[in-house]
Amino acid sequence: MASFEETFEACRELSSEECERYSRQILVIGCEGQLKLRESSVLVAGVGGLGSAVLYYLVAAGIGKIVFIDDGLVELSNLQRQVLFTIEDIGKPKVLVAESKLKALNPHVKLIPLQATITEDLLEKYIRDVDVVVDALDNWEARFIIDKVAWRYWKPLVHAGVGEYYGQLTVIKRGVTPCLRCLFRGIKSSGRGGVRVLATTPGILGLLEVNEVFKILLGTGEPLYNKVLVFNGRKPSIDIVEIKFSDCSEICEY
Amino acid sequence: MVVRVRILESNEYIELEVKEISVREILSKLGLTLSEHIVLKNGEVITEDDVVEDGSEVVIFTVKSGG
């Protein structure tokens, strides 16, 4: 049987450790795909239920650089679904705990944790240098801020939201889709916290977000542009709702 | 004179016998909140004051805010 080195002889850019680590994935996306992931950068806004799943899999899969933002501390009520955290982490900043756990998972990934509130000024510094932005937030006010800055810099934004057994997922890209605010223009902003959610719902939607990130970075498949995936864990069912594209570049407040 | 409504969350199809009806009135009739639902008419997002006419197909889905 051929060794990993022989099997992936073409992967000269990757170390033997990387070839073995990503071997099952390289069989799917090739060495070229793995290198694309290594050369990519992603910003994840929110390190809660969605963010825990998103970060874990982005790091495991070998994304080159990940910026992640959250201003919260780990609480006991987080542990039901926020799988990066354990009992000894309670009271500590989420981003710092996440950094430690993720570094242990994959030291090849450059991690940039930011313990901060989402503001336009903060995002201005980071969004311009990443390839994809992931919305793992828990409130519409902050979502519309990342939407605005991602739109300004023409960065794809992968959105998900969850509650109870339900969730939705879509991808926003300027020139291809309306912005998030225009797509969800009937939605009223509401405060954060107190969300009712089953443990599995953010995990499922978080992994679907990562799947969209991979398609965008690898330039393969069909990202959810002008489509909203609606997940219902009670059935279970997944519906894809097609949205007619309307270019809001000229009319929206961005 | 019928407006057909599909509610994704419950996978229900409802026929409203009206000549025209606003989004606000549809949601009110169905007991759904404006702030958590997206309404599409023939694939286009419409909002509370928009009116849906006889023969239109409407899809309503819930949008969640948690993370």
Decide if A164 and B39 are in contact by the 8 Å CB cutoff: no
Whether omega for the bond prior to residue A156 falls within 30 degrees of 0, making it cis, is no
Domain ranges of chain B: 3-62
- The pLDDT, as a whole number, for residue A245 is 83
Q: How confident is the model at residue A248 (pLDDT cuts 50, 70, 90)?
A: confident
Q: Whose CA is closest to A147, among A115, A112, A185? A: A185
Which residues of chain B lie closer than 8 angstroms to A137, CB-CB? 67
What is the CB neighbour count within 10 angstroms for residue A80? 11
Whether the pLDDT of residue B51 is over 80: the answer is yes
Decide if A185 and B45 are in contact by the 8 Å CB cutoff: yes
Q: What is the pLDDT of residues A73-99, one digit of tens each?
A: 999 999 999 999 999 999 999 999 999
Whether the pLDDT of residue A247 is over 80: the answer is no
- The pLDDT, as a whole number, for residue A9 is 55
Which residues of chain B lie closer than 8 angstroms to A163, CB-CB? 64-66
State the alpha helices, DSSP H only, in B1-67: 23-30
Q: Which of A48, A185, A235 is opposite residue B67, by nearest beta carbon?
A: A48
Q: How confident is the model at residue A136 (pLDDT cuts 50, 70, 90)?
A: very high
- The pLDDT, as a whole number, for residue A246 is 79
Three-class secondary structure of residue B28 per DSSP? helix
- The pLDDT, as a whole number, for residue A8 is 54
Question: Looking at residues A180-194, what average pLDDT do you find?
Answer: 77
- Is CATH 3.10.20.30 correct for B3-62? yes
Task: Give the torsion through C-alpha atoms of B44, A240, A162, A223, to 10 deg.
Answer: -90
DSSP character for B66?
B
Decide if A49 and B67 are in contact by the 8 Å CB cutoff: yes
What is the b/e burial string over A119-147, where b = at least 16 CB atoms within 10 angstroms of the residue's CB?
A: eeebbeebbeebbbbbbbbbbbebbbbbb
Which residues of chain A lie closer than 8 angstroms to B62, CB-CB? 166, 168, 230
Domain ranges of chain A: 33-242
CB of B34 closer than 8 Å to CB of B49: no
Q: Whose CA is closest to A7, among A25, A21, A27? A: A27
Instruction: Find where tokens 């509130």 sit.
Output: A117
Chain A positions contacting chain B at CB under 8 Å are 46, 48-51, 135-140, 160-164, 166-168, 182-188, 190, 195-197, 202, 228, 230, 232, 235, 237, 239, 241-244, 246
Sequence-ordered list of residues with C-beta below 8 angstroms from that of A8, at least 6 positions apart, any chain: A14, A19, A23, A26, A31
Whether the pLDDT of residue B6 is over 80: the answer is yes
What distance in Å separates residue A77's CA from the closest CA in chain B? 14
- The pLDDT, as a whole number, for residue A94 is 98
**Alpha carbons B35 and A35: distance in angstroms, whole number:** 43
Q: What residue in B sits closest to A50 (Cα-Cα)?
A: B67
Q: What is the pLDDT of residues A188-230, one digit of tens each?
A: 766 665 679 999 999 999 999 999 999 999 999 999 999 999 9
Decide if B62 and A137 are in contact by the 8 Å CB cutoff: no
Three-state secondary structure string covering chain A? CCCHHHHCCCCCCCCHHHHHHCHHHHHHHHHHHHHHHHCCEEEEECCCHHHHHHHHHHHHHCCCEEEEECCCECCHHHCCCCCCCCHHHCCCEHHHHHHHHHHHHCCCCEEEEECCCCCHHHHHHHHCCCCEEEECCCCHHHHHHHHHHHHHCCCCEEEEEEEECEEEEEEECECCECCHHHHCCCCCCCCCCCCCECCHHHHHHHHHHHHHHHHHHHCCCCCCECEEEEEECCCCEEEEEECCCCCCCCCCCC
Q: What is the pLDDT of residues A153-169, one digit of tens each?
A: 999 999 999 999 999 99
Decide if A160 and B9 are in contact by the 8 Å CB cutoff: no
Whether the pLDDT of residue B38 is over 90: the answer is yes
Q: How confident is the model at residue B9 (pLDDT cuts 50, 70, 90)?
A: confident
- When the pLDDT of each residue in chain A is averaged and rounded to a whole number, the result is 93
Q: What is the pLDDT of residues A8-66, one digit of tens each?
A: 555 789 999 999 999 999 999 999 999 999 999 999 999 999 999 999 999 999 999 99
- The pLDDT, as a whole number, for residue A192 is 61
Q: How confident is the model at residue A253 (pLDDT cuts 50, 70, 90)?
A: low
Architecture of the structural domain at A33-242:
3-Layer(aba) Sandwich (3.40)
What distance in Å separates residue B25's CA from the closest CA in chain A? 14
Q: Whose CA is closest to A103, among A60, A50, A73? A: A60
**pTM of the complete model:** 0.94
